[in-house]
Amino acid sequence: MSTIHDRTKIIVKEDGLKRLQNSNILLAGLGGVGGYAVEALVRAGIGNLTIVDNDVVDISNINRQIIATHSNIGNKKTDLFKQRIADINPDCNVNAETIFLDNSNIEQVLNAEKYSYVIDCIDSLNCKVGLVETAWKMDIKVYSSMGAGGKTDPLAVEVTDLFKTSVCPLAKFMRIRLKKRGVGKGIKAVFSKETPVAPLPPEPSEENTCRNRSTLGSISYIPAIFGLTLAGEVIRDIVNSHYY
């Protein structure tokens, strides 16, 4: 009888599929990048996945977020993804945390389970630094998305150690802050060498100060490329590159 993993198994072999099914990943941020990363992880056969986000679908998300449609505006992204994952891969154990991940709860969240990977798709600097720092110091493998907003060139997207990134303004601030906190090499980052289009100026907000209030432009395919690349790097690491 055919299964959803038949074609995947040709690539990763039986042992690789078992590694995927036994893995435990935490992914934070279900926006344009994170949503596509979740999609690829689940379809590849990841067995245990914790997703973290406190946001609901907004009409402005539809241009780039895989979960966003007119029919689900206002719904929690965690709820929508949990339903979608169950429909794609019912064997994936999903823990959906509808919380705002910040420095007050990051350590608690990471200690809740034994994670083999943390995938950072958060779009605000303070929370992003906090998650990456904490996971790195806990010896969890960290994969982090740098800025996808304001970019249009798919060929400018690269993968390297975070401390070897260039051009990307978000990556620069990440390097500066993490270095001050004693964080070193070993964080794999997806970034773009393209100079981004400037965002709209920040608007006054009473929301948590951890959020980035600037409005960045975006195009449909760049966040998808970032997210799929992140997922691909994690999947390849899980099954070992010699299968490819």
pLDDT digits 0-9 by tens, 225-241: 999 999 999 999 999 85
Predicted pLDDT of residue 201? 86
**Complete domains list, the chain, with CATH:** 6-243 (3.40.50.720)
Give the closest residue to 225 by CA, choosing from 61, 36, 81, 67. 36
Residue 2 has pLDDT above 70, yes or no: yes
Query: For 110, phi and psi rounded to 5 degrees?
Result: -70, -25
**Is the distance from CB of 190 to CB of 233 less than 8 angstroms?**
yes
pLDDT digits 0-9 by tens, 189-218: 999 999 999 889 886 654 554 554 678 899
Which residues have a Cβ under 8 Å from the Cβ of 111 and sit 6 or more positions away? none
Calpha distance 69→199 (Å, rounded): 24
Tokens 């823990």 correspond to 95
Residue 36 has pLDDT above 90, yes or no: yes
Q: In whole angstroms, how far apart are CA 156 and each of 114, 122, 146, 184? A: 34, 21, 13, 25
State the average pLDDT over residues 163-181.
Answer: 98
